[in-house]
Amino acid sequence: MPAMTSLREAIATHVHDGDTVCMEGFTHLIPFAAGHEVIRQGRRDLTLIRMTPDLIYDQLIGAGCVARLVFSWGGNPGVGSLHRLRDAVENGWPRALEIEEHSHAAMANAYWAGAAGLPVALFRGYLGSDLPAVNESIRFLDDPFTGERLAAVPAIRPDVTVIHAQRADREGNVLIEGIVGVQKEAALAARRAVVVTVEEIVDDLRAPSHNSVILPSWSVDAIAEAPGGAAPSYAHGYYTRDNAFYTEWDAISRDRERFRQWLEDEVLGAPP
């Protein structure tokens, strides 16, 4: 049974300086509230893993929390660049950022392998791409039956996974619905802890189907109620994506000073 706790307590207990952390959510259910709490608690030297870094990782990078980023698509969806990510990669501001770059297929398979307790993910991929030349965690091996050359990447096994979900029941079982992304895999791949923020904690999980995507309570370490915790991304059934903020972020993040001010006003100075 997970600890039913505050967001502040959940992050303080489970996310430490130097950790490897996955905060996942494929456009949907991105754990913004939890990411902001990591910034407020001043975590440093994190390795962050995420297929699509999105605004939340741009903010963590700009706030100086991140030493290393593992990702496969680093843009502001439908808008353009992640300027804090670019500033870190191109200019080392506010600190140098090491990157490990994959394709989506590689990361999806690596999460899958992590969830499945396999050390490695084997897939068809990276054929003819230059990515294997700049990422030494991409290798190839031959299928022992057909001889086909297959790509191999190590399983993703973060110290901590942080996700946002629609709801949890009072036993700590968690329901994820709609675009479920890689959240279940990211949670099951965690070595040390799984932190889940939810829109609400309820008596009845109201799972729509026998086959709903559910994390059993014993696979989760901490649950914190955080209504609106995925905004400006969205929580299906609760609220929609704040597309205007995604657009606005382009201007905020382009300028270091404006970003710093935003961070001060909206994150550091805001209550969890």
Partner 1 sequence: MSPGYTSEEMMVVTAARQLSSDDTCFVGIGTPSAACNLARLTHSPGITLIYESGTIGTRPDVLPLSIGDGELCETALTTVSVPEMFQYWLQAGRISIGFLGAAQIDRFANINTTVIGGYHRPEVRLPGGGGAPEIASFCEEIFVIMPHSPRAMVPEVDFVTSFGFGSGGSDRADLGLVTQGPTLVITDLCLMRPDPETKELTVASLHPGVDREQVRESTGWGVAFGADLGETPPPEQGELEVLRDLMERTAKAHAPGHGREGEGS
101 forms beta bridges with: 71
Q: Does 128 bind partner 1 (CB under 8 A)?
A: yes
- How many residues sit close enough to a second copy to count as binding (CB under 8 A)? 29
Q: Does 105 bind a second copy (CB under 8 A)?
A: no
CB-nearer residue toward partner 1: 104 or 170: 104
Identified binder of partner 1 from the candidate list 5, 6, 13, 219, rule CB under 8 A? 219
Q: Does 143 bind a second copy (CB under 8 A)?
A: yes
- CA distance between the termini of the chain: 24
Q: What DSSP string runs through 186-247?
A: HHHH-SSEEEEEEEEEESS---SSTT-EEE-GGG-SEEEE-TTTTTTSBBTTTB---HHHHH
Taking the complex as a whole, the smallest distance from the CB of residue 56 to partner 1 amounts, in Å, to: 14
If we measure between CA atoms, which residue out of 3, 16, 4, 26 comes closest to residue 182? 26
Q: Does 100 bind a second copy (CB under 8 A)?
A: no
Q: Does 238 bind a second copy (CB under 8 A)?
A: no
The answer to whether the beta carbons of residues 210 and 177 sit under 8 Å apart is no
Taking the complex as a whole, the smallest distance from the CB of residue 42 to partner 1 amounts, in Å, to: 26
Q: Which range in 15-23, 121-129, 187-195, 251-259 contacts a second copy by CB under 8 A?
A: 121-129
Alpha helix (H) residue ranges in 27-174: 32-40, 54-62, 83-91, 104-115, 131-134
Identified binder of a second copy from the candidate list 128, 204, 210, 271, rule CB under 8 A? 210
Identified binder of a second copy from the candidate list 118, 188, 201, 202, rule CB under 8 A? 118
The number of CA neighbours under 13 Å toward the Cβ of 108 is 11
The answer to whether the beta carbons of residues 175 and 159 sit under 8 Å apart is no
Q: Does 96 bind partner 1 (CB under 8 A)?
A: no
Identified binder of a second copy from the candidate list 154, 227, 228, 272, rule CB under 8 A? 154
Amino acid at 111: Y
Taking the complex as a whole, the smallest distance from the CB of residue 103 to a second copy amounts, in Å, to: 16
The answer to whether the beta carbons of residues 241 and 9 sit under 8 Å apart is no
Contact positions vs a second copy (CB under 8 A):
116-120, 122-124, 137, 139, 141, 143-146, 148, 150, 152, 154, 177-178, 180, 208-213, 236
